[in-house]
Amino acid sequence: MFPKIRSHYKISLPILGIFLTIFLAYHMSCRNDNSSLFSASNKSPLVGTGEVADAVKVQDTFRKIYNLYQNSVVFISTEQTVKLQSSPFFNDPFFRDFFGQNALPQGKTEKRQGLGTGFILSEDGYICTNYHVIADVDKINVKVDNKNYVAAVVGYDERTDIALLKIQGKGKFQPVFLGDSDKVNVGDWAIAIGNPFGLDKTFTTGVISAIARKDLDLMGDSQTHIQTDASINPGNSGGPLINIYGEVIGINRMIYSQSGGNMGIGFAIPINKAKDVLEQLKTHKKVKRGYIGVQIVPLTDDYAGQLGLAKIKGALIGGVMNNSPAEKGGIQVGDVILKINNKEIASYTDVVQEVEKTEIGKTLKVTVWRNKQEVNLFITVKERP
């Protein structure tokens, strides 16, 4: 039996009920006012003030962009079967004789997983991503709105690092809005959505740090990139770079890093360049590039002066290939290309860009500097061999 405890105070039930009611009401009011033992006041003095009103508007825009693209940015996972290399010891005749030919390890394989990002281009399920995300893989899976689909490669272009995929399944998908990368300026807002390290739909922001960055890799001087400090990490490859209007202005491709992680220097392929490539991939499954058959050499100050050029601009022809469009059109070694279709040429890069974007079979008006005067030539572009 428990001992009996006698109370020296007697409280009637009605009074106890009133006390509990007052206590609970006070406690709930404290909770509703967000007050706490650790809070200086109920609300921050910045809430509702004009000083933060503009920042709140930007914050609301970020939220709208994220909601707009939740089902347009896709999670890409890949599978690749690779053959494992055998030990170099088994290439030694002594070991082969000692263990016997049957003891040699046969070609073993293993499956490797890869991650990346893509974005939907059309309601019927075309997807843009980087070529290096899907290069040499056996299987591609994409996750859209928490649903998994198998995707097939429609075409790819290794030079620009762009690939076009198609979802193998029925459904109506939500495409992105494509912007104009030619209007991008340094200081513009930059937003990246992707799957860094497999973290689905990660949203990061920054600004455009530079435009038309060149010579970033060995893919050709004509390849330019948009630089941004928006956080990009492994797994972001192939995802969209978005402006403050919710338009895709680039394809996140690579980072500059000494550690393998983000250091605030990321690069994206301009979407205007990607549009041309993607259209060709859908039509031809590859990119048909224009070709005129010339070799360009550096134009020095001294040589420009000897040629009578007032400015060191243009592309100096160092060689003309036999039976090429350039030879048939009359281009000669020593000519300096000044204009193509009346557009000024500053360097070799401009020549490559103008020729490659020209439809096969079209004729270019090429203005060259020869014998200290301008000469107009007409060259029909052919497909690069």
What residue type is 99 in one-letter code? F
**How much is the pLDDT for 5?**
38
Binning pLDDT at 50, 70 and 90, where does residue 1 land? very low
The CA distances from residue 73 to 44, 64, 135, in Å, are 36, 14, 20
| Gap between the Cα atoms of 274 and 262, Å rounded | 24
What mean pLDDT is reported for the chain? 85
pLDDT at 348 over 70: yes
What would the pLDDT profile of 181-199 be if each residue is shown by its tens digit? 999 999 999 999 999 999 9
Structurally, at CATH architecture level, domain 290-383 sits in: Roll (2.30)
Share of the chain above pLDDT 70, in %: 80
Least confident of 60-69, 217-226, 294-303: 217-226
Least confident of 141-145, 302-306, 320-324, 336-340: 302-306
pLDDT at 315 over 50: yes
CB 175 within 8 A of CB 294: no
| Gap between the Cα atoms of 213 and 264, Å rounded | 15
**How much is the pLDDT for 8?**
40
Fold of domain 181-273: Thrombin, subunit H (2.40.10)
| Gap between the Cα atoms of 379 and 294, Å rounded | 12
47-61, 206-220, 284-298, 326-340, range with greatest mean pLDDT: 326-340
What would the pLDDT profile of 234-276 be if each residue is shown by its tens digit? 999 999 999 999 999 999 998 876 666 667 899 999 999 999 8
Spell out the domain ranges in the chain. Answer: 181-273, 290-383
What is the DSSP-derived secondary structure letter of residue 311?
S
Query: Whose structure tokens read 């009605």?
Result: 14
pLDDT at 380 over 60: yes
Backbone CA torsion sign across 327, 331, 336, 340: negative
- Could you write out the DSSP letters of every residue in 323-383? T-HHHHHT--TT-EEEEETTEE--SHHHHHHHHHTSPTT-EEEEEEEETTEEEEEEEE-EE
Mean pLDDT of 363-374: 95
**How much is the pLDDT for 385?**
82
Contacts of 319 (CB under 8 A, 6+ apart): 294, 295, 297, 333
**How much is the pLDDT for 6?**
41
- Greatest alpha-carbon pair distance for the chain in Å reads 122
pLDDT at 209 over 50: yes
Binning pLDDT at 50, 70 and 90, where does residue 2 land? very low
pLDDT at 220 over 50: no
What would the pLDDT profile of 322-342 be if each residue is shown by its tens digit? 999 999 999 999 999 999 999
| Gap between the Cα atoms of 319 and 362, Å rounded | 22
**How much is the pLDDT for 98?**
57
Which residues are identified as catalytic? Answer: 132, 161, 237
